[in-house]
Amino acid sequence: MSETLSNTRSMNMIEAIRDAHDVAMERDDDVVVFGEDAGYFGGVFRCTAGLQEKYGANRCFDSPIAESGIVGTGIGMAAYGLKPVIEIQFADYITPAYDQISQEAARMRYRSNGEFTCPIVIRTPTGGGIYGGQTHSQSPEAIFTHVCGLKVVIPSNPYDAKGLLLASIEDPDPVIFLEPKRLYNGPFEGYHDRALKGWKDHEDGKVPEGYYTVPLGKAKTVRAGKDVTVLCYGNMVHVCEAAQAESGVDAEIIDLRSLIPLDLEAIEASVKKTGRCVIVHEATKTSGFGGELMSLVQERCFYHLEAPIVRVTGWDTPYPHAQEWTYFPGPKRVGDALKKVVEAK
Amino acid sequence: MDGFADAENMTGSKTSDRGFRVPQPPARPGEAPDFSNFDFGEPGKLPLLDAEAPVEAFEPFHDGLLRVLDMDGKAHGDWASMVSEEDLKEALTAMIRTRAFDQRMMRAQRQGKTSFYMQCLGEEAIAVGCALALRDGDMHFPTYRQQGILFVNGIDPEAMMNQIYSNKKDPLEGKQLPVLYSFKDNGFFTISGNLGTQWPQAVGWAMASAIKGDDKIAMAYIGDGATAEGDWHQGNLFASVYRAPVILSVVNNQWAISTTSAFAGADKNTFATRMASYGLPALRVDGNDIIAVIAATRLAAERARAGLGAVAIEFLTYRGGAHSTSDDPTKYRPKEELGSWPLGDPLDRLKQHMTVSGLMTDEEIAALEEAAEKEMREAENRAEEVGLVHAGEGADPAKMFEKVYEEMPGRLLEQKKEAGF
Ligand SMILES: Cc1ncc(C[n+]2csc(CCOP(=O)(O)OP(=O)(O)O)c2C)c(N)n1
Ligand SMILES: [Mg+2]
């Protein structure tokens, strides 16, 4: 943390994200915010509410429904010297902009040999758990981690969301900032039939006022343990905590927070200590980021491993509507994997 | 054109003196609705066109508005001759049923029987009129606001409700979000959640029909907001280049969630004008006037079927309800706007026309409404008896692994077993 502030306020993730925008816009006139319904209305999840009123329509505005246009113009603004923080309404709708993101934003620096850069932040709600069906539930992080030149960040709580967003806005390179929408209003352990817990009583719902950053590329050990390392991020952090508590396995749970850059040191140190590893993400399994994590662990920790690494992920299907909870990798599946891995001889 | 004030002087504006603008609607909550920038023309003024008329003959319809019904329920001009009394009775029944269905489902959503619903309040004439103008074998590529097509094309509303409830009888077996139906036998293409994607697909479907020498046509729909997507522009171009037998219709209901059609350029040029710029014959039509809708679409269908290529239509209307049950429009537009839309409510206007022209009595119309209400209530009871997404017999979980591919790959089969199925 770059600055320690004693004043904290209880915030949910929406408020924390809004607050990060506010702090960034206050500190830096070059920060502009736009996206579909992001101006007057303040976004369909209200993450930019009040910003147009406070900073004017020149710094926070609505956009046409054209994701490629949103990102393309954002790249132009970034190249000019602004710091665009743009919202794509759902991660499922980012694909029309994939060309601009993967071929343009990601490569501006490289292809101009540093002459032009693209300090843009593309925020978008990710993941399922809201009965959103195929087109409001996907987790596309791996299609961005596969593109060199992009950074990919996924917070799991309000404190990190604000600090990571401020760090992303300051970052000199393009950042894909994925916000697990199921966590906006409270930590979610994977039990859709239980009452929603708000962020109020959660340690990470206490958010410092004003400016602070959480650096990209630093994982957080959510729980220290000695028998198995759990690598997770976003929605799955809370699911893994629940799975640990229910299974009683002494797991070390690591919230990666950013996938690119990745905190390899933390991963390596933990797996070398525990000798076992479970990787959990909500996205589909095949070619998911878990495959990359698995390779890295294998490359660096092979001689310390006492059991095969196991992945718990979404199934290789589109995100179904009615069968959402069969798709969602909940605490039961994670708990079973933890037990299996610690029991393996 | 349909003017919107610019946000030249919003608070804190530092660059507005350099002309940067962000469109704003003429009225926000708390302000009086204002449609004074629209020029709606007069009913019955624009000449009836021949289906094979040269493209230039469509020019008066780019900025002008094809209207037949006046606001007192009387029909004017030659376009009315394209629509029969039978058409109107069928349209009335379908519009009444569409609205009754929507009301039932809005209520079901409030009661927690479904997580989500989208109504088409105030836009019923468009889907219903278009469906009446097309025929069996043609394919509609609808958005989520054209459920009216199904009430013309013979759907059992229970099937729609089963989809909305994701229950055991859901024809999509739980895979898709409520209202994103697929009813191939009813000429209703599978609805995508991603805006705009189906516009070029409709063009491609029509190209295929032409390539095969068939006389089937396609009809594409898109909201005003979604025209901003690249797919809209590309679809227009392909339709024009290949003279595809497709009707390309923009449903301009003024709003895209919280933003106005000015964000899609509608304050500069009408959608009809813009589609015409691709070389397409284009008509701008009062979408709340069922006679105008049927007449225009029928002409377009005849033209496309005759091998003269695509026709573009802009339907002017107003989104009567919230965007979806997840939306609260009082946050961004005046409550009173709906009641003030100068082109009124399409169902009220048709009812008035039926009585004014002596085609039906008030009692007969009331009986239709009662029958529709009863039909939907009974259909809902049946659907609910089968189950809801959270209760009763829901969609079978094992089904989620099927139809990813025609043949389930080995890895997926393994996953299915791992999931316990
Ligand atoms: C590619 C894509 N971007 C964004 C969305 C989110 N979204 C769903 S509906 C909607 C507004 C559409 O407005 P319009 O096209 O005018 O249709 P209307 O709802 O008025 O019928 C938006 C932004 C989406 N579904 N797909
Ligand atoms: Mg619209």
In this complex, the residue of B28, B194, B394 whose CB is nearest that of residue A93 is B194
Chain A contact for B154 (CB, 8 A cutoff):
no
Determine whether the interchain pair B326/A316 forms a contact, defined as Cβ–Cβ distance below 8 Å. Answer: no
**CA–CA distances in Å: residue B282 to residues A138, B216, B314:** 38, 20, 8
Atom of ligand 1 nearest to the CA of B222: 15
Cβ–Cβ under 8 Å, residues A38 and A17:
no
Instruction: Looking at the complex, report in whole angstroms how far the Cα of residue A301 sits from the nearest Cα belonging to chain B.
Output: 27
What residues have CB less than 8 Å from A70, skipping those under 6 apart?
A: A34, A35, A36, A63, A64, A86, A88, A97
Mutation to probe ligand 1, out of B254, B257, B314 (largest number of atoms < 8 A from CB): B257
Question: Active site includes A146?
Answer: no
Distance, CA of B275 to CA of B284 (rounded, Å): 11
- Please give the pLDDT value at position A5: 56
Chain A segment 126-145 residues within 8 A of B by beta carbon are 131-136
In this complex, the residue of A92, A135, A322 whose CB is nearest that of residue B394 is A322
- Please give the pLDDT value at position B252: 98
Cβ–Cβ under 8 Å, residues A10 and A208:
no
Amino acid symbol at A33:
V
Distance, CA of B421 to CA of B413 (rounded, Å): 9
B330: left (phi over 0), alpha (psi -120 to 50) or beta: alpha
Token pair in block for residue A297: 């662990």
What average pLDDT does this structure show over B147-174?
97
Three-state DSSP class for residue A104: helix
Question: Which pLDDT tens digits describe chain A residue by residue (345 residues)?
Answer: 445 556 999 999 999 999 999 999 999 999 999 999 999 999 999 999 999 999 999 999 999 999 999 999 999 999 999 999 999 999 999 999 999 999 999 999 999 999 999 999 999 999 999 999 999 999 999 999 999 999 999 999 999 999 999 999 999 999 999 999 999 999 999 999 999 999 999 999 999 999 999 999 999 999 999 999 999 999 999 999 999 999 999 999 999 999 999 999 999 999 999 999 999 999 999 999 999 999 999 999 999 999 999 999 999 999 999 999 999 999 999 999 999 999 998
Distance, CA of B326 to CA of B322 (rounded, Å): 8
What average pLDDT does this structure show over B337-345?
93
Atom of ligand 1 nearest to the CA of B257: 11
Atom of ligand 1 nearest to the CA of A96: 1
Instruction: Looking at the complex, report in whole angstroms how far the Cα of residue A215 sits from the nearest Cα belonging to chain B.
Output: 31
Tell me the DSSP string of A11-70: --HHHHHHHHHHHHHHH-TTEEEEETT-SSS--TT-TTTTHHHHH-TTTEEE--S-HHHH
Query: A305-317: per-residue pLDDT in tens?
Result: 999 999 999 999 9
- Please give the pLDDT value at position B16: 57
Ligand 1 binding residues, C-beta < 6 A: A 36, 65, 89, 93, 96; B 143, 145, 193-195, 223-226, 253, 255-257, 319, 323
Look up the pTM and report it: 0.96
pLDDT band at B394 (very low <50, low <70, confident <90, very high): confident
What average pLDDT does this structure show over B236-254?
98
What average pLDDT does this structure show over B362-382?
98
- Please give the pLDDT value at position A214: 98
SS (H, E, C) B283-335: EEEECCCHHHHHHHHHHHHHHHHHHHCCEEEEEECCCCCCCCCCCCHHHCCCC
| Percent of the residues in chain B that have a pLDDT greater than 70, as a whole number | 96
Distance, CA of B283 to CA of B285 (rounded, Å): 6
